[in-house]
């Protein structure tokens, strides 16, 4: 997707602080961290939002969730705990229209709901 910030990060056109990459997934530090540990995990395939997850592409979502424990461990929040957040659409405040999951940790008990 030509105008997608996260596609540009994945291709290296926009620099990022990478924490994990494999053939399907890219993870990087959020540029405006909302927690002491704030990483964004994205599929390399451009999927606009959670509304666009289908039987055809849900395997990549599964692979993201399979990798999150390893990423969390490398970030040092595996034992202390972390939240996994997806914002879908306008009312959730989704600002980048490329499916992504936030990993938020180091918040010392900051449960939001």
Classify residue 1 as exposed, middle or buried by CB count within 10 Å of its CB (0-12, 13-18, 19+). exposed
Calculate Rg over the CA atoms of the chain. 14
Asked if 36 and 106 count as a contact pair (C-beta separation under 8 A), the reply is: yes
From the list Zn ion, ligand AMP, none, pick the one residue 93 interacts with, judged by a Cβ distance below 5 to 8 Å according to partner type: ligand AMP
User: Shortest Cβ distance from residue 64 to Zn ion (Å)?
Assistant: 14
Closest C-alpha to 28, from 45, 4, 51, 12? 12
User: Shortest Cβ distance from residue 88 to Zn ion (Å)?
Assistant: 15
Contacting ligand AMP (CB under 6 A), which of 40, 41, 47, 72? 40
Contacts of 87 (CB under 8 A, 6+ apart): 93, 94, 95, 102
- The answer to whether residue 102 is catalytic is no
Contact string (CB under 6 A) for ligand AMP, positions 72-101, x = contact = ---------------x-----xxxx-----
Asked whether position 107 contacts ligand AMP by CB under 6 A, the answer is no
Q: Which residues bind ligand AMP (CB under 6 A)?
A: 5, 14, 16, 28, 30-32, 40, 87, 93-96
- Annotated catalytic residues are 100
């Amino acid at each position: 997707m030509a105008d997608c910030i996260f596609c540009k990060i994945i291709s290296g056109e926009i620099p990022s602080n990478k924490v994990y990459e494999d053939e399907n997934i890219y993870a990087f530090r959020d540029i405006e961290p909302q927690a002491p540990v704030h990483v964004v995990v994205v599929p390399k395939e451009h999927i606009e939002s959670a509304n666009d997850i289908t039987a055809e592409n849900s395997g990549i979502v599964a692979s993201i969730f399979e990798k999150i424990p390893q990423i969390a461990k490398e970030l040092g929040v595996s034992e202390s705990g972390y939240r996994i957040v997806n914002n879908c659409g306008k009312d959730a405040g989704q600002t980048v229209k490329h499916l992504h999951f936030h990993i938020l940790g180091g918040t010392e008990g900051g449960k939001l709901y």
